[in-house]
Chains A and B, each alone.
Chain A
Amino acid sequence: KAGVTQTPRYLIKTRGQQVTLSCSPISGHRSVSWYQQTPGQGLQFLFEYFSETQRNKGNFPGRFSGRQFSNSRSEMNVSTLELGDSALYLCASSREVSSYNSPLHFGNGTRLTVT
């Protein structure tokens, strides 16, 4: 059974640009959540989707957005990139509607570097 797939693995962007990251969950999983991991702030929750609906959102500015498609694949977008957006972005999927209350399966992440 394929795991959670995130593409691309690495990205280098310039300040002011925008970026789109993709996540394909494990087959049969309908919940997808996104996290940002940095050395200074650790892992922080961005948002969670279930059946194409955003169910919860973390404390990030509106430049961070996401969506989920009917096949459960999800994308997140960051507009007007800032140096502080450099991070490992992790996607996780789960079977349950409440991802915070069930085992999560993480992808290997997308490493974003903003110069």
Chain B
Amino acid sequence: DIQMTQSPSFLSASVGERVTLSCRASQNINKYLDWYQQKLGEAPKLLIYNTNNLHTGIPSRFSGSGSGTDYTLTISSLQPEDVATYFCLQRNSWDTFGAGTKLELK
């Protein structure tokens, strides 16, 4: 089974700051990597699929990159509504989620 490791587990940042979240797979996942945002009490919401494709309606301040085993979600200018937990998901071999990065405002 492919394991997904997210870092950091917790991040505190200021409004307007550039934020980078990481996800590492235990083996090559061929860019089959998605990012989800989950706000408290809500279902996960798709932000980015296949590493760098922005889902419909998602603000352009969100972007993704990566290849092989290492992937990144970047928020170019953090907004108050971005407070949430962010999960990565690999779909190269069945589905495996990361444990999440909890993002809060400083």
Q: Do A and B come from one complex?
A: no
Q: Residues of A with Cβ closer than 8 Å to B? A: none
